[in-house]
Amino acid sequence: MTVNFVETVPASVVASLKQISGVRQIETFRAVPVRLRNGQYSRQIGITGLSERRDLFRLLDKDESIVEVPRSGLVVSSHLAGILHVGVGDEITIEVLEKERPVRKGRVVALVDDYSGSSAYMHIEALNRLMREPPAISGAFMTLDSLLENRAFEELKEVPFIGAVNLQKAAFEGFMESFAENMLQFQFINAIFACVIAFGVVYNSARIALSERSRELATLRVIGFTKGEVSGILLGELALLTSVAIPFGWLIGYGMSWGMVKTLPTEHFRIPLVLSSSTYGFAALVIASAAIVSGLIVRRGVDRLDLVSVLKSSE
């Protein structure tokens, strides 16, 4: 859970939090509202000062590797760095928006890829030095014994300097019940439409091929080819076209997904491009299944070719 205090308090209050029933682990943080400025570019956000030990709140890069927060300098999100037009090593102005509202200078020492909002981080001791204040904290990340959870909540309500308590499990469940559930339903409907369209395209291609070559195929039947041999010519062509089309479909699908991801980012969230091997496998399976079903239907058309009309033809 995350516990936010009503106002900044001395770091020594952690001792009182440890006395709450069921508390297993505590990691403190300091949050300071600021305006980061680089020339004409600026953004009002909050700098979060993190402690040395970070098991409950970790900064991860795209490869899910932990990003360390050095004892000096700023770690900012890649999205925020783009807004401010800064990179690693650049110096930016920090306009503090609380207390005496001092103006400081800070250097960007690392970038981190996040997918929600715009963030900036510092070592908590460096942030305290920037504020020229003794060790102070704005809240804490905590873990509780699940058996003592209710009792811990009751005791937290009695702590006067605690302003809000956010339970990660409740936030995650709320996300899954609202946004994630709607997104999965939307994806399911899109997948159904995609399968129907894929089958329609493959089937129409097979029907057109049969219609264009019906006279030639019937002629082959007349001169002695069996139904299986004649069907093999048409279905072999369909199989060849399908096998060649699947890799091109993968490339086109990847390009479309990449384009969508690049146009979707907003100030509040970004969606990474994640395509697993199962995605490509599912797409290939749908097309292959559509080709097989279409081939079986077209095969019946080949068996019903009008041989009499071919024999009567002047050609």
| Structure tokens, 303 | 């068996």
Residues 250 and 307 in one domain: yes
Residues 129 and 181 in one domain: no
Structurally, how many domains does the chain consist of? 2
Residues 21 and 134 in one domain: yes
Domain boundary among 132, 166, 200: 166
Q: What pLDDT, in 10s, does the model give residues 125-143?
A: 999 888 888 888 888 898 8
Residues 11 and 148 in one domain: yes
Residues 9 and 110 in one domain: yes
Residues 138 and 21 in one domain: yes
Name the one residue in this structure whose structure tokens are 């499990």: 169
Residue type, 9: V
Q: What pLDDT, in 10s, does the model give residues 242-281?
A: 888 899 989 998 999 888 888 876 666 777 888 888 889 9
Nearest Cα to Cα of residue 46 among 111, 120, 103, 99: 120
Which structural domain range is residue 205 located in? Answer: 175-312
b/e for 226-254, b at 16 or more Cβ within 10 A? eeeebbeebbeebeeebeebbeebeeeee
Residues 149 and 190 in one domain: no
Say if residues 282 and 252 touch (Cβ distance below 8 Å): no
Residues 185 and 108 in one domain: no
Residues 50 and 114 in one domain: yes
pLDDT, average across residues 112-119? 79
Q: What pLDDT, in 10s, does the model give residues 179-235?
A: 777 778 888 898 899 888 888 888 888 888 888 777 777 778 778 888 788 888 888
* CA-based torsion, 67, 50, 74, 164: positive or negative: positive
Domain boundary among 166, 192, 212: 166
Residue type, 276: S
| pLDDT exceeds cutoff 70 at 289 | yes
Domain boundary among 166, 190, 208: 166
Residues 207 and 75 in one domain: no
Residues 157 and 89 in one domain: yes
Question: What pLDDT is stored for residue 248 in this prediction?
Answer: 92
- State the burial class of residue 177 (Cβ atoms within 10 Å of its Cβ: 0-12, 13-18, 19+): exposed
Residues 134 and 42 in one domain: yes
